[in-house]
Amino acid sequence: MDRQPSRVDFAAIGHQDNWDQVVQFINAVRDPTLSTLGIEQIQEIFAWIPPRVIFRVIARSIQANTVAQGVYIETFIPPEQLASPQLSGMLRKVKQAAACAERIGARVASLGGFTSIVLEGNTNLLASEGITAFTTGNTLTSVLIAKGVEKACAIHGLDLQHCQLLIIGSTGDIGSACTRYFTGKVQTLLLNARKVKGLTEQGQAIVNEGQACEYSTDLSQLLPRADVVISVASTAAPLFNMDQCMPHTLICDAGYPKNILAEHQLQWERIWHGGMGQVQGGFHFEPKEASSFYQFPLPNIGHGCVLESMLLAWENLYESFSSGRGLITPQRIELMWSIAQKHGIQVSPFFNHHGLWSSQKIASDAGAR
């Protein structure tokens, strides 16, 4: 029988940031008649599994007849390895995952979370045979963060022009994109990063543009003054305590893994997982059990980095849209935003560990009616 191999328009390469999620997924794919595997049993084997496609994604744009077929490639990087200073193991897995994307003929692949951080955005490090264009996915993530901040401010009646906006991890690829985007749009930019040199250079450049800006590697000096916080630091686990924030402060935690220590956050309606988008046309997974691997409070929600390759596939734009570091300009953000809107990717309704914001629940219930 002559068979057509299934088309792969896009791939999303990712990793898990906690073992609970891994345990849930492995047991979901395991035969239900067998006993459930515990975390220790799964840890014995997980890291040894080579990167592979673990489910297919069929995604529909709101543009007529525009459907993209994609795959999710799990790197099987153990969550604790994200904190390891030894990057070679992680880099090897990312390269294997990229080879997997090429092997299956994916036309564009995005690099989620640490898989692009470990490359420092340098997609050229991935030995490509020219089949797959690799994109970090950072442009769409930046778009969804920036537009999300504007939307959250509108919901809470904050005027950005009179706000002090703190960006944690401001010198990273997404952090610097947000910094550039909000330059000229806020009262004061407060910038925080780990390395003094990069931070100083960035801060000076912003000041030279006439934007009020203060910067420090000491977060505690900036937090008490921030009206809005964007956290996009590359932390292997939640690290930042928001106790010093003012009661009205809005916090966008766009880390992957998350940056903010959840137990210290009392204002649940003021913190959200940023950089997330909702696909209006919808997407589904094959096999269905895979949905347990990627669950959010509402359907059709995904990380910006994951959605970027989907979007590029809909747009027939098979290129490394996001590559390198510090190259995401406000113009690129607006271009990506217009493509996203054309295909029906919106800022996700706001949610955090506790679930949807109540205002979003009301909107979602109304939409359902």
Partner 1 sequence: MEALTSTPHQHTQQYWDLVTDVLSQAITGELIGMSNFASLVATIDDPEEMMEAVEHADSERGHAVGFIKLAEKYKLQVKVNLKANYWRRVRESFLKWAEKKDFIACLLIQEVMLESFAVGMYREVGKAFPNDIGQLFTDIAAEEEGHLEHSIELLKAEMERNPEAFIQKVEMVHKDCMTILAEWSAKKDGKGHCEICKGNCMKESLYLADLEMSSLRGNSMALYLDALDRIGLPGEKTLPWIANLPA
Task: Provide the binding-site residues for partner 1, judged by CB under 8 A.
Answer: 1, 3, 26-27, 29-31, 34, 37, 41-42, 44-45, 47-50, 52-56, 73, 100, 103, 287, 290
CA angle 253, 255, 257 (to 5 degrees): 125
* Closest CB to partner 1 among residues 74, 173: 74
- CB crowding 32-66: b at 16 or more within 10 Å, else e: eeeeeeeeeebbeebeeeebebbbbbebbbeeeeb
Compute the least distance from the CB of residue 37 to partner 1, in Å: 6
Sheet holding 276-279, edge to edge: 301-303, 276-279, 345-347
CA–CA separation, 277 and 346 (whole Å) = 5
Residue 309 CB, shortest distance to partner 1, in Å, is 18
Cβ contacts of residue 60 below 8 Å, gap of 6+? Answer: 66, 67, 279, 281, 282, 283
- C-alpha closest to that of 76 among 90, 55, 56: 90
Q: How far is the CB of 310 from partner 1 (least distance, A)?
A: 18
Taking the least distance from each CB to partner 1, the nearer of 214 and 289 is 289
CA separation for the pair 351, 282 (Å, rounded): 19
Task: Tell me how far, at minimum, the Cβ of 3 lies from partner 1, in Å.
Answer: 6
Task: State the nearest-atom distance from the C-beta of 307 to partner 1, in Å.
Answer: 20
At closest approach, how far in Å is the CB of 361 from partner 1? Answer: 34
Residue number, 22 or 339, with CB nearest to partner 1: 22
Non-local (6+) Cβ contacts of 59 within 8 A are 67, 68, 69, 70, 279, 281, 282, 283, 310, 313, 314
In 3-state terms, what secondary structure has residue 13?
strand
Amino acid at 8: V
Q: How far is the CB of 341 from partner 1 (least distance, A)?
A: 32
3-state class (DSSP) for residue 137? coil
Whichever of 45 and 196 has its CB closer to partner 1, that residue is 45
Report d(CA 101, CA 53) in Å as an integer: 8
Measured from the CB atom, the residue of 48 and 369 that comes closer to partner 1 is 48
